[in-house]
Amino acid sequence: MPLSDNFNDNPQVMLSYFIFEFRQGSEPRIVSQYKYDLSDSFDDGFLWYIVSTPITQDYNPLDSATSYFYSSYENIYFACFNLIVPDVQARGFSRSFGICLYNTKRIEDKLIETGLAQRISELLTEMIQKCQENFKTEVSQYLGSIIATIDAFQDSAAVLEQKYKEATFLLNGREILPDKSQEAKTPDYFTQINNDLRAIEKIIDLNELTTKLRVILGDFYRSQISCQIKTHAKYEERFPFVNFGHISGENYSDFPSFVLENRKELNNDRYLLINLVKPKILHHIAYCLFSGHSLVIEAKRPQDLHLLAKKMSLFVPQFTDRHIHIFETPITSVDAYQYSIVVTPQFKRDRTENICILNTDYGYYEGPICPCSSSVYKLFDFTVSSESSFLLVAFERVKDFSYQIIKLYASFSRDVPKNATKLREYLGKLQISEADDQLLRFITQSIVSRGDSKVLLLNNPTFAAIGIIAYYDGK
């Protein structure tokens, strides 16, 4: 896919982050951290700079909002999200808590454009609302304990009554009834809990927070990639074209976007197309699919093969989602002929014409063999190291191949050679092998039909060779 010169295949800002708290009378402390790059390091001065930056933030333990600011420290650009966490055991019922996102590149525009800042603010608001519900219960117990302790220790009543007044004042007019079932504490208990402050993990579920934060950051990375591709892609595809994998026309830029967004899942998939290239299994499958025949994938757990089947659709002309089906029960050829790609726990081989079979459990291919002189072999004569890279290059090769066929199709109505020798020369100029007769017939018919239904050429000649080939997928 042609891209503008200023397109960068790794354009996204990859963020490191840390979650911190700042207790009264102590140093700021990092409670959770993720470094995208080991070089993303900083000294203690950075942390002190963050907590020392003045911010405007009203505090009400029952109605606290998130505030955030952007700044830089030496060569680090960062966004800091601050929150006052309500804690009945803390002085002033408050604890300073925050998330800092940082990078060596400017990040402010990225965070605003993608809505990342808003989503993190909403996440922290969600977390603080849970804290506030627990806080209401704990305040009720706290007030009840003070009342019980005053009754039990009259000589400390004056000090305890002052703590009670301070507590009600901090509630800012919100009336919370004391839990009178609480037992008396020792008079110094209410000071001791301030000094021996419990861990912040007792207040906020850090596992939930970090899990949701990483989901948000993952969406942030993907949105940057999609934006880059859809902004810089200059390719516009119009009919006639062959809609391989249903990713042509207006959807043309969606495929590289999908691959780059999901490269981690694609590269870690149990079943990789790249492992089928060396034993030539993918060549035979692609030839069959190009020719309009059906691919049956046998697997004991069909649901695990959905991604593999979807990747195979890259070789199905005029593909739509209706051309693929996952069966949970054994099938016959009648079922297989209805689709381009099917996955099933067992294929009853009652008829195998126009069908190729890939058994992923035992690692073998069964079906027609791609002719050695076929142009299909040129599609996979490249070397890459990952599944995502393979898909991108293969898609480009498939599209180039289809353009040659479209040229041939367009020429039929004008200047078609009248004898076999000249026809072979003509195909050679288009870099199309005469061994590709079957796929030429099917692809040109799919161009003419422009339909989204599977056109099965049952009258296609049988393949010259049928075979069974074992392979090892490397896992």
Report which of 229, 15, 11 is spatially closest to residue 116, judged by C-alpha positions: 15
Instruction: Spell out the domain ranges in the chain.
Output: 1-234, 237-470
pLDDT tens-digit readout, 308-344: 998 998 888 877 788 899 999 999 999 999 999 999 9
Identify the pLDDT of residue 305.
93
pTM: 0.51
Q: Is 10 helix (H, G, I), strand (E, B) or coil?
A: coil
Token pair 């008829």 is found at: 351
The residue behind tokens 């009264």 is 24
Residue 33 CA: distances (Å) to CA of 40, 96, 102: 11, 17, 11
Q: How high is the mean pLDDT of the chain?
A: 78
From first to last of the 475 residues of the chain, give the pLDDT tens digit: 333 333 344 445 568 889 999 887 788 889 888 876 555 567 788 889 888 887 655 566 666 678 888 888 888 889 899 888 888 888 888 888 899 988 887 777 767 666 778 888 889 988 988 888 888 899 899 999 999 999 999 989 899 999 888 888 877 667 788 898 999 999 899 888 888 888 888 888 998 998 898 888 876 665 555 544 444 444 455 555 566 665 554 555 567 767 776 777 888 888 999 999 999 999 999 999 888 889 999 999 999 999 999 899 888 887 778 889 999 999 999 999 999 999 999 999 888 788 999 999 999 999 999 888 888 888 898 888 889 888 888 888 887 777 777 766 666 555 555 555 555 565 555 556 666 767 776 776 666 665 544 544 444 455 668 889 988 776 5
pLDDT digits (tens, 9 = 90+) for 34-52: 876 555 567 788 889 888 8
Six-digit token string for 355: 């069908």
Contact status, residue 103 vs residue 14, Cβ threshold 8 Å: yes
Let me know: does 298 contact 346? Beta carbons within 8 Å.
Answer: yes
Question: What is each CA distance from 105 to 35, 77, 171, 213, in whole angstroms?
Answer: 15, 6, 42, 20
User: pLDDT value at position 3?
Assistant: 37
CB environment 341-371: b (16+ within 10 A), e (fewer): bbbbeebeeeebebbbbbbbeebbbbbbbbb
pLDDT of residue 279: 92
